[in-house]
Amino acid sequence: MTCSAMTSALLLPILACCLLSASVSVAGGNFYNDFDITWGDGRAKILNNGQLLTLSLDKASGSGFQSKSEYLFGKIDMQLKLVPGNSAGTVTAYYLSSQGRTHDEIDFEFLGNLSGDPYTLHTNVFTQGKGNREMQFKLWFDPTNDFHTYSLLWNPQQIIFMVDGSPIRVFRNLENRGVAFPKNQAMRIYSSLWNADDWATRGGLIKTDWKNAPFTASYRGFNADACVWVAGRSRCPARKMGGSGAGAWMDYQMDVTSQKRMSWVQKNYMIYNYCADRKRFPQGLPTECTIN
């Protein structure tokens, strides 16, 4: 069924579907210019004149890369096609992070599955070295059939996680309520494909089947409309009149339609929310969970 053929009763899924269709045309950078392969002994490859990057995992090793630049705020997009088939035990991690004991970090992690089962998208936010803010989702499409766009919009007011243009999670700046927010530490983009069969699939019950190796994830369509950290300063894109174009994300706030899209995703596809886990926090939920 096409987007146009669906009924108005399915308005939010329609929006998600149409956004999915539009998202795959995002213009990308060049991986040779934007990233360094950091480990894997040849298992990571840049192909197609810098337009495609692949990471592979076998029993001996996984692989990974990192951005040449550091960023302090921005709108960052990457298209990923995840490991197909039986990917149980594998994790494809794509995240922003600073360094050190009190690092900040913003995570997408894709937890492998048995063939035919939905992937689990694991998200987390670290501030000043403290994480424990996990939210998990079952993706509403097969992320191995085609590329899909995973985005982070990070400005001084909030961090928004997006899938194919639809927001799935927001972490707001609540410093005025004593909650630390990532705003001072520049972060690089990192990605890796690695074996985590002690926990990744059904809590470690399903182990990696090495007969399926090598496992491969693919990347394209990188775009960073972001403030680049250079010589201890953050250099941001020039703003156009009216606040549109490059840098428009700096003041972005979700409108009613975006909030409804996020509510639809969370209602139908969120499988874990730390803010609802009172057993984990018997002394009371984290402060950000108690503020509407």
Distance (Å, whole) CA 145 – CA 120: 16
Count of other CB atoms within 10 angstroms of residue 8: 6
Cα dihedral 257/94/274/113 (nearest 10):
100
Q: What is the DSSP letter of 236?
A: -
Active site residue 109: yes
Closest CA to 73 of 190, 148, 161, 183: 183
What the block records as the tokens of 71 is 């960023």
Catalytic residue among 70, 105, 134, 175: 105
Active site residue 105: yes
Using CA atoms, how far residue 81 sits from 6, 40, 263, in Å, is 26, 19, 25
Helices 256-269, 11-23: inter-axial angle, 10-degree rounding = 100
What the block records as the tokens of 279 is 């057993």
Catalytic residue among 70, 109, 134, 288: 109
HSE at residue 38, side-chain half, CA atoms within 13 A, is: 13
Please list the active-site residues: 105, 109
